[in-house]
Amino acid sequence: MDDSHTRAETLDLRLQQLARRGVTIVDPRQTFVDDDVDIARVESGVVLHPGTRLHGARTYLSAGVEVGHEGPAVLRDVVLGPRARVASGFVHGAVLLRDASLGANAHVRPGTLLEEEASTAHAVGLKHTILMSFVTLGSLINFCDALMTGGTSRSDHSEVGSGYIHFNYTPWGARGDKATPSLVGDVPRGVLLRERRIFLGGSGGMIGPRRVGFGAVAGAGQVLRRDVPADHLSVQTSRTVLRALSTELLGPCAPRREQNIRYIANLEALRAFYRELRLPRLPGEDEFAGEREVLEAAIETLSLAIRERVKRLAAFLEERGERPPAFRPRPRLPCPLEITRARARDYVDHVRWIQGRTDLEANMLRGWLIAIVEDRVQAEAG
């Protein structure tokens, strides 16, 4: 018996095991599940359409997940929460929470996290991208190395218009750099899901690192080269520049250093929010083991994103002769609310729970997360 026949038999066996677990495989002839995928990490109720390929020991598909309903989809080490959807494309190392979705022809790389009900339309590229709850990206977008939040629901959400690019590479220096992450909204306010939505108009872009405030609107057809304050309409025009270019040009360090440190501090605040509030709230019963798996993967993704940003900032500063920040662990700032593990019958979904906090509780949480951000910023100042 040749190797190809053996592999085919092994694949048939794995597909049969999935089917017995309650996974719908629309056409087994066009579905591939690699040997490194743990069958027990694909839950009952998952739907795999023709052209689906699953790879990686980390891969986890929760109940209600649908893959490949608009074309071939390759998933590698991907963690998908309940009812998350990947229409088609290539997704590697990403985490999608409940009801998050990627449109057709997605190209998504590690460090990417989509929270509840965040979504993209077709042909969107993401890498080290954090889209918090409800954020929506249109079509034909490249939005790497950015965090975006804002809005209160699927009908009141922050959005990026089609044809948008976050320019995350600066060509100065020997090799250029990617110390260019942009904050669209922020974590301490955004996690509470009660801030004003942000809109970045289509056929445009943003040169990172930038900051955009809640309630801001950036008009279509422009490239943002300056920050946009909260509750402002921005239409920025470009001036003509034609001058001799020196390959030694490096530009000032201070603004980029400050932007990067604040971005990293926001990621640390979001990780603390997951570790000390989201994860401890989950009931201990077995039926919540999958949701725990997804949240732990989200925390792992945030840690990966923090390491990436620290590395990029260090390379940027070292080339300019500056010592990078140490980013030593900071003293733990405990969550100000008493978080107790709910019983399964009493558990309330995170979005409903966080939006149900009183103004006093929301202010306490906001202050806690701001303190985490500012503690890191002050620790690395100078």
Which pTM value belongs to this model?
0.96
Task: Give the per-residue pLDDT at 31.
Answer: 98
Residue in the structure block whose two tokens are 């080490």: 77
Burial of 253 (0-12, 13-18, 19+ CB in 10 A): middle
Cβ(136)–Cβ(153) below 8 Å: no
d(CA 60, CA 117): 18
Structural domain spans, the chain: 3-234, 254-379
In which region does residue 151 sit, left (phi positive, over 0), alpha (psi from -120 to 50) or beta (all else)?
A: left
**String of DSSP letters for 60-104:** EE-TT-EE-TTS-EEEES-EE-TT-EE-SEEEES-EE-TT-EE-T
Closest-CA residue to 200 (of 266, 113, 138, 262): 138
Record the tokens describing residue 344, joined without a space: 């399964």
d(CA 267, CA 302): 7
Burial 321-336 (b: 16+ CB within 10 A, else e): eeebbebeeeeeeebb
Bridge-based pairing of strands 151-153 and 156-157 is: antiparallel
Task: Give the per-residue pLDDT at 4.
Answer: 64
Residue in the structure block whose two tokens are 């290539």: 90
Task: Give the per-residue pLDDT at 247.
Answer: 65
Per-residue pLDDT of the chain (382 residues; tens, 9 = 90+): 456 668 888 999 999 999 999 999 999 999 999 999 999 999 999 999 999 999 999 999 999 999 999 999 999 999 999 999 999 999 999 999 999 999 999 999 999 999 999 999 999 999 999 999 999 999 999 999 999 999 999 999 999 999 999 999 998 888 889 999 999 999 999 999 999 999 999 999 999 999 999 999 999 999 999 999 999 999 998 889 898 887 677 778 899 999 999 999 999 999 999 999 999 999 988 889 999 999 999 999 999 999 999 999 999 999 999 999 999 999 999 999 999 888 888 899 999 999 999 999 999 999 999 999 999 999 998 6
Cβ(207)–Cβ(225) below 8 Å: yes
CATH class of 3-234: mainly beta
Record the tokens describing residue 264, joined without a space: 């990293």
Record the tokens describing residue 94, joined without a space: 């990403």
